[in-house]
Homo-oligomer: A and B are copies of this chain.
Amino acid sequence: MAEIPKTKKKRDAEATKSRILMAAKSEFAKRGLGGARVDEIAELAEANKRMLYHYFGSKEDLFRTVLEEAYLDIRKAERELNLEDLSPTDALETLVRFTWQYYLDNPEFITLVNSENLHGARHIKSLDNLPETMRGLVGMVDEILVKGQATGEFRSGIDAAQLNITIAAIGYYYLTNRHTGSFLFGRDLMEEKALDERLAFNIETVLRLVRADAQGN
């Protein structure tokens, strides 16, 4: 008799590790670090809990790994936008659109970051490659701002780090608080029309913030 074909290869360390990581991302995103259950992650990954401890050491170490991957991934995607090839205005609009869409496509990112902040950022503090990549992003935005000033599109004196924070904030806040927001405002903030409106508003916000006015400031 023919063997039942298994989706899961009998022995594959990399695949198991990767399944655990994906399951962990999903579970941590759904319930936070504290609310996540190690048994649930193992089951979701179709792996044994022992393997989770074998590969990742502890629940918190697993969380750290998930977080690191999440941060590296968004920074990588940002770099791949090649903003330096666009006009300053287009570059900023593209960054606002990207940030918004990234949060929509990767909702776990927001929950992971929230969870990490609830715990005083103690997990990422040992990951010293993360500040480097953040400096890269701020540097990129700063270049856009300098270029925009040179062309006269933008005013001077804008802090790149603050602008970065604001671009993240206006999307992040809307999405992280979508449940309370939908209830308090009495309408579904996640329906397509509402999302489109919010994105348009955010682009307007950022462009008006940087644009040189009639007096050139």
Contacts and interface: CB of A to CB of B under 8 A. Distances in A.
A151 interface: no
B124 A180 contact: yes
A117 B179 contact: yes
Closest 10 CB pairs of A and B: A169-B173, A121-B179, A214-B214, A134-B184, A34-B35, A162-B201, A34-B34, A121-B180, A169-B169, A117-B179
Q: Which of A34, A174, A183, A198 has the most CB of B within 10 A?
A: A183
Given A162-B201, A169-B172, A179-B121, A184 B34 contact: no
Contacts of A162: 197-198, 201
A79 interface: no
Contacts of A134: 184-186
Q: Range of interface residues on chain A?
A: 35 or more
29 contacts: A31-B118, A32-B32, A32-B34, A32-B118, A111-B118, A114-B114, A116-B179, A116-B180, A117-B177, A120-B179, A121-B180, A121-B183, A124-B183, A130-B183, A131-B185, A131-B186, A134-B185, A134-B186, A138-B185, A161-B185, A162-B198, A165-B173, A165-B174, A165-B181, A166-B202, A169-B169, A170-B170, A172-B173, A205-B205
- Say how many copies of this protein the assembly contains: 2
Q: Give the dominant DSSP class at A's interface.
A: helix
Interface in A99-145: 111, 113-114, 116-118, 120-121, 124-125, 130-131, 134-135, 138
